[in-house]
Amino acid sequence: MYLKDKVIIIHGGTSGIGKELVWTLVFKKANVIFTGTNKQKGYDVIEELNSAFKGKRPHNAFFYNMDITDWKAQEAIYDFSQKCYGKTIDIVIIIAGILDSSNLINDTEQDGHYRTLEVNLTAAVKANRLAIQYFLREKLAGCIINTSSVYGLGPAPSNPLYAASKHAIIGLTKSYGNLLQTPLLPGESVKVASAFGMVPMKSCIDAYLYAIADDSLNGDIINVSPYGRTVEPRFSDPVIERLDFMCNKRREEVLGAIMNHFQA
């Protein structure tokens, strides 16, 4: 998939991987809308882009201030894209995430609404659903990229909700279709991570570009480590692949019903 003039939404683009991806895609002449809850950080990114592109071509990037858990705001971004670029969205990338919002000792979320799960998982589910519905209505071969973590592959004793959400993102991605120093990895965690080896930012960004470019990766999981990049197929176990084959008829029925609903 060529990036020039493509409209790309990046949920969580004001810092870390998201911010770096905004810059990379803008330099590749994509039309980028990046979201975030912190207005100042978003405006700072725009100012940095304005300075970098001063006297050159327009950078075609917009910041959209929103809470990703706000469903109406997620829906509104599609209208915002139409106003900005006069065209539809081609690619949706979900990066937004937070560490544990409470813990066993200080469980301040006794109403059962855990902010970490709402941001990292529930909001990501909504972003996926909205994108799929949108692509079906517009009859577009769109692209959705979810972002997990090394803690989507193993335990995180100090942040179990974060780990649970990132495990779930892998399941969501497989069903629908990186150890890095970021603002989510502060202090002592950096020392632990460094013992295993840090993943260069470029390796992560290259993985996003790889996912966009290769349509055959649908539903697969791209693992990025200090030792390189590997692809875990959606069906890594023969038993699971066989089960999927046996459920093929049912899957076709469900897909047919979805297509009929959104393209009617």
Indicate which residues carry an active-site annotation: 162
Surface-to-core class of residue 69, CB atoms within 10 Å of its CB (0-12 exposed, 13-18 middle, 19+ buried): middle
The CA-based dihedral angle spanning residues 164, 165, 167, 170, taken in that order and rounded to the nearest 10 degrees: 170
CA distance 261 to 264: 6
CA distance 115 to 100: 8
CA distance 45 to 212: 23
Are 32 and 95 contacting, i.e. CB atoms less than 8 angstroms apart? no
H or E segment and range at residue 63: strand 61-65
CA distance 42 to 34: 8
Other C-beta atoms lying within 10 Å of the C-beta of residue 213: 12
Q: String of b and e for 164-186 (b: at least 16 CB within 10 Å)?
A: bbbbbbbebbbebebbbbbebbe
Other C-beta atoms lying within 10 Å of the C-beta of residue 43: 14
